[in-house]
Amino acid sequence: MLVRSAAFEELVGSHGGLGGGQSHPFVLHPVALPWPAEEVVGAEAVHRVLRGWLAQVGQAGYASTSSDAPTASVATRTPGAARAT
């Protein structure tokens, strides 16, 4: 079975996105799920927003906990991995 996918960005291939410019991130969401008034920066912050929405719609397992707080980044080394240059 052949499945066709249209890639709208300038890259070859598709990763399931909506396409278009990807320099300015955005979140398209139902108006019933409120976006926070404070600036949301980074994947961890977006993840907290998404978890909050899940909790609002009845998914109690996604309610915030103290373990949801971001932690300091720690550099680790994977044996055999090449260093980024």
pLDDT tens digits along 27-63: 889 999 999 999 999 999 999 999 999 999 998 888 8
Domain boundaries, the chain: 40-67
Residue 44 parent element (H or E)? helix 43-56
Question: What pTM, to 2 d.p., does this model score?
Answer: 0.53
* pLDDT value for 30: 92
Q: How far is CA 76 from CA 33, 80, 83, 84, in A?
A: 37, 12, 11, 13
Cα–Cα distance, 39 to 70 (Å, whole number): 15
**pLDDT at residue 35, rounded to an integer:** 94
The answer, yes or no, to whether residue 15 has pLDDT greater than 70, is: no
